[in-house]
Amino acid sequence: MKIILNSDILHNVQLIKDKLSKRLQELFKVCAERNYVVVIPETALLEFNRYQLIKKEEEVNRIKNACVILETYGVHFDHIEFAELVKPPDLIALIGALGVNVIVEVPTLEDYVKAHRRACLHECPHPPDIKSDEMRDLIIWMIALRISLKEDGALLISNDVCHYHSRGDLESNEVKLVRVKSIEEALEYLDVETPTGKLMAQFLLPFWSSLIEEGLPLNKEMTILGISKARFVQGVRGLVHATCHLKTKTTEGRTLSAVVDIKPADETAEELILSNIAIDGNPLEKPEIKIIFIETGKPEYDDFVERHDALRNIIGDKNGS
């Protein structure tokens, strides 16, 4: 999987000296463990470097001012090359030092041309009422779409409204580009990519259209942002109960959260209960939905119990009982 980072996620209010923030380190640790590739668009890297150069100058000025104060107390210094004393960070080297496969993605001419057209015509994904048409945002958007199409899915981490607005839903769904606003949301989504998360997503998929019919403002394509606290209870004949905390995206780009409970109702049906349903933390008037999903055919007969009893009888006979 490729994970694309916008400059606002890389942003740091202070000069980065020898290590990245704890939240970035946590994300990159997961990427290293799972062999995910981190993609830094060149546009985002240039923004990051520009901001860090500003912070470098501020740091140099602080050191100069400190030296002036010390000299008023009789503390003198040899000649100091202040500009050489403070070094701006090498972002790619810092990420690579954490064991992450990181690449810088240079925008193509086609990326520039498409971004230019969209900026001029106020086309998607920019909100229609936005005051500025940032070419930088649109270039990163084009890079993310291109990568996701090539890789059959990718993750974009950005808190820029251009990147998470609902106007971009159709395009992002077509290329399987998942968008989250923070590292915290990214880590929740990456849990979806674990075997446990994938299994829960498989259980949810048959119910998805029914949830939309029940009035939930969900996208037709199931877009899960997070699965946590997943638990499965296995019985003799298969799954008895599955539960998790779910986060998904609404048609307006907001976050819907709920507690999911799935359990078999009989041999040909399964039951889904969604409870504590909320959108952006605000509970719905109807906070619980219950759906009975009828399968098209009966499950194959499993003679586990009969075989188990026969084995016990054989063992019992050999032991003389």
CA dihedral 201, 38, 10, 247 (to 10 degrees): 0
Q: Are 108 and 130 contained in the same domain? A: yes
Residue 50 placed within a domain: yes
Q: Looking at the domain assignment, is residue 313 inside a domain? A: no
Is the pLDDT at 301 greater than 50, yes or no? no
Let me know if residue 219 belongs to a domain.
yes
What is the number of structural domains in the chain? 2
148 and 264 part of one domain: no
Burial category of 241 from C-beta neighbours within 10 Å (exposed 0-12, middle 13-18, buried 19 and up): middle
255 and 129 within one domain: no
pLDDT at 256 over 50: yes
Would 286 be classed as within a structural domain? Answer: yes
Least confident of 3-7, 173-177, 247-251, 314-318: 314-318
For residue 226, the cross-strand partners are 247
pLDDT digits (tens, 9 = 90+) for 216-247: 999 888 888 888 888 888 777 677 888 999 99
pLDDT tier, 84 (very low <50, low <70, confident <90, very high otherwise):
confident
Three-state DSSP class for 231?
strand
Position 319 scores a pLDDT of 53
Same domain for 206 and 167 = no
Same domain, 224 and 174: no
Does the residue 127 lie in any domain? Answer: yes
Same domain, 136 and 224: no
CA distance linking residue 167 with residue 173, whole number of Å: 11
Question: Is residue 319 a part of any domain in this protein?
Answer: no
Q: What pLDDT shows up at residue 314? A: 67
Work out the average pLDDT over 37-49: 96
- Tokens for 233? 């209870």
**Residues 219 and 75 occupy one common structural domain:** no
68: CATH: 3.40.50.1010
Task: For residues 102 and 175, state if they share a domain.
Answer: yes
Q: Would 299 be classed as within a structural domain?
A: no
Q: Is 175 found in the same domain as 72?
A: yes
> Which of 32-36, 62-66, 288-292 reaches the highest mean pLDDT?
32-36
Tokens of 225: 């942002």
Q: Please report the pLDDT score of residue 11 as a whole number.
A: 86
**Is 304 part of any domain?**
no
Query: In this structure, are 70 and 211 located in the same domain?
Result: no
Residues 6+ apart with CB under 8 A from 158: 5, 6, 8, 9, 140, 164, 179, 181
Comparing 20-29, 57-66, 262-271, the range with the smallest average pLDDT is 262-271
Domain encompassing residue 217: 194-294
Of 187, 210, 243, which residue sits at a domain end? 187
More confident residue, 14 or 103: 103
Query: Of the residues 187, 221, 246, which one is the last residue of a structural domain?
Result: 187
pLDDT above 70: residue 318: no
Predicted confidence band of residue 53 (pLDDT cuts 50, 70, 90):
very high
Last residue in a domain, options 144, 170, 187 = 187
| Whether residue 151 sits in one domain with residue 94 | yes
Pick the most confident of 87-96, 221-230, 304-313. Answer: 87-96
- The reply to whether 84 and 166 lie within a common domain is yes
Q: Note the pLDDT of residue 230.
A: 86
